[in-house]
Structure 1
Amino acid sequence: MDEEGEHTVRIGIIGAGRIGSTLARHFAAIGYDVALANSRGPDTLADLVADIGGPIRAVTAEEAARFGEAVVVSIPYGRYQELPTEPLRGKVVIDTCNYYPERDGHDPELDGDATTSSEKIQAHTGANLVKAFNAIYWENLRDHARPQGATDRVAIPLSGNDEEAKAAVAGLIRDIGFDAVDAGHLGEGGRKHQPGSRVYATEMSSAETSALLHVA
């Protein structure tokens, strides 16, 4: 709460690569309180934080996990076991990660489609995990936010098992200038917007995205 008693949304972001830093910029621009972390320590984020400006600070991953009402995880999938688990348990976590075997090393469970990367991150953290922002090019995320009511808003698919968590993330997506489209549960729905899916790395309206996600 600020001094007037109004609530400021607190966003933790673990991972300051292209998606993580772009989301930090969007959230700070609309006045949300952002705590940004990377794997190399807060000192290495000083220039980025100064460039973004506004209500943003550099912290450790543990501090970002504790700080955020919602926490964005935007790291290489292969490093998900480094995430701080205790402060993420039961919290709304936005998973932007994708599995790329050539970068992350082969995961037999994912190679065999026995499960999904998001389900593994959820199991590790115990979070109310919502997969989102994984299917959009970072440049499009940076450049194509549009005001509410604009006819050319781009859709962001999301998936998760907790309806309240999904609703919260859908609200954040709308707040920064995009339309949220629910793909379903974390496993079945997440597969519909992971790499190789029909909506991955596309730029479409919510109607077009919804039609592709729910095609028989």
Structure 2
Amino acid sequence: MNDIDTTTADTTPADTTPKRLGVIGSGDIGSGIARLAIAAGYEVVIANSRGPESLADLVAELGPRARAGDARDAVEFGPTPVLAVPLGAYESLPRDAFAGRAVLSTGNYYPHRDGRIARLDSLEVTTAELEQELLPGAVITKAFNNILFHHIPALADSTPRTALPVFGDDERATAAVSAIVDDLGFEPLDAGTLAESWRTEPESGAYTPIYAADPEALAADHLTAVAAPVTVARLRQLLSASQRADVAARRF
């Protein structure tokens, strides 16, 4: 496996250098992570498929430590880019720019959006494993894929601290992504390998309902459902008890 790039181009002493985060994807998850990163003192470059001009309002909201760029700008801005895009967008990414980098992937497989993908329907691979194949030079690490977008700001820095699972096959990449999760206000939990990441995929036992204060309210209207913290101990229990979803039967 390629060595993971954990450096930035900035040569300022480490104790005074702002942390940098590139975010590819400006939807609900990507923009939510960008907001938390700015609040945590990061500098952020955010990109989407529509071009930097389409991000003017979001960048204005984020403030002077944020700017818009293209996907390559975002990947190369910091050592561990965030990827919050549909599976279909992978083919348009600058794959060479990801070489050797730990990547925080937030993605899930949704057939209504992504179309049917036979290898995911058959459970041959997890979504994270397929993402790794699609970006072979990167080191995919999974986080933020099992929490609703509006529960991210609601549970950041919660009391007790909310735990989020992190899946990865590389110890250094998992550590790098866990550090970001921690900085953004959550308690990272090393939850296993990419092959085990089905435990937090849609309809699994550790997907988004675990962060809802009232599961019935979530089922009635997920956009207004109130969030509730999940401790590390509780998350471990949920991951252990999780059952793999029948992906081929998934309907939306």
Same fold (TM over 0.5): yes
The one-letter code matched in structure 1 to 2:54 is T
Aligned partners of 1:78 and 1:99 also within 8 Å: no
Aligned partners of 1:76 and 1:104 also within 8 Å: yes
The one-letter code matched in structure 1 to 2:153 is R
How is 1:45-124 mapped onto 2 (pairs within 5 angstroms)? Answer: 45-124=55-134
Establish whether residue 200 from structure 1 lines up as the match of residue 207 from structure 2.
yes
Deviates most, 48-57 or 18-27: 48-57
* Structure 2: distance between partners of 1:172 and 1:3: 20
Q: Which residue of 150, 166, 169 maps to 1:139?
A: 150
Structure 2: segments with no counterpart, 5+ residues: 1-9, 212-229, 243-252
Alignment RMSD (CA, Å): 1.6
* Secondary structure at 1:157 match in 2: strand
Deviation at 1:129, TM superposition (A): 1.1
Establish whether residue 173 from structure 1 lines up as the match of residue 181 from structure 2.
yes
* Secondary structure at 2:201 match in 1: coil
* Secondary structure at 1:70 match in 2: coil
Q: Which residue of 183, 192, 205 maps to 2:191?
A: 183
Q: Deviations over 1:30-64 (max 9, x none)?
A: 21111100000000001100011141110001111
Report the TM-score, using the length of structure 1 for normalisation.
0.93
Deviation at 1:28, TM superposition (A): 1.2
Deviation at 1:89, TM superposition (A): 1.3
Deviation at 1:7, TM superposition (A): 2.6
Q: Which residue of 218, 223, 239 maps to 1:213?
A: 239
Number of residue equivalences? 212
Aligned partners of 1:11 and 1:67 also within 8 Å: yes
Deviation at 1:68, TM superposition (A): 2.1
* Structure 1: distance between partners of 2:154 and 2:41: 18
* Structure 2: distance between partners of 1:107 and 1:130: 21
Q: Deviations over 1:53-84 (max 9, x none)?
A: 14111000111112121100001123222221
Aligned partners of 1:154 and 1:205 also within 8 Å: yes
Deviates most, 178-187 or 105-114: 178-187
The one-letter code matched in structure 2 to 1:135 is N
* Structure 2: distance between partners of 1:117 and 1:80: 13
* Structure 1: distance between partners of 2:156 and 2:69: 27
* Structure 2: distance between partners of 1:103 and 1:151: 35
Report the TM-score, using the length of structure 2 for normalisation.
0.80
Deviates most, 99-108 or 117-126: 117-126
Q: Which residue of 120, 140, 150 maps to 1:129?
A: 140
Identity of matched residues, % = 41
Q: Which of the two has higher C-alpha Rg?
A: 2
* Secondary structure at 1:80 match in 2: helix
* Secondary structure at 2:104 match in 1: strand
Deviation at 1:210, TM superposition (A): 1.0
